[in-house]
Structure 1
Amino acid sequence: MKVLFFAALRETMGQSEIEILLESPITVAALKSMIKLPNGETLNAASRTQTIMTAVDQEMVDDSAMVSVASEVAFFPPVTGG
């Protein structure tokens, strides 16, 4: 599965994407628990103190959504306009 990071989250991670190998579908929340930030905190823990939006295959989803082995998952902060 391809996992993409955008904006400040990309800067925090130090990379724009990673590949994660899954054997079976999992929830977005479970995926967030697998991803470690450079400070050792999981993405799931970080989402308790900051808003992290999620898209699976270019559709906005919540943490209960299922992701499959072939999914593309993107994490990013809320988008604002101006």
Structure 2
Amino acid sequence: MYNFLLVIVIILSVLIVIGIMMQPSKQNSAASAFTGGADNLFGRQKARGFEAFMQKATAYMGAVWMILLFLLAYLSSK
């Protein structure tokens, strides 16, 4: 069980990295580097299409990844 979950975590880690790299860049100008993108935080429109799908998929994969890591930690302590 532990080894199976470990393999799933490794595969999910690679998928999360790929998912993050596929998301479009949100940095539009050099000013964003200094402000940290705070100017876009409140004026930003809701994501649509591929961008929305990638944001949701990355968030869900991250949540499952964290749950699996806690489960692995629990199993390794026994």
TM superposition score normalised by structure 2: 0.29
Higher strand share: 1
Higher helix proportion: 2
Larger radius of gyration: 2
Q: Which has the higher contact order (CA 8 A, sep 6+)?
A: 2
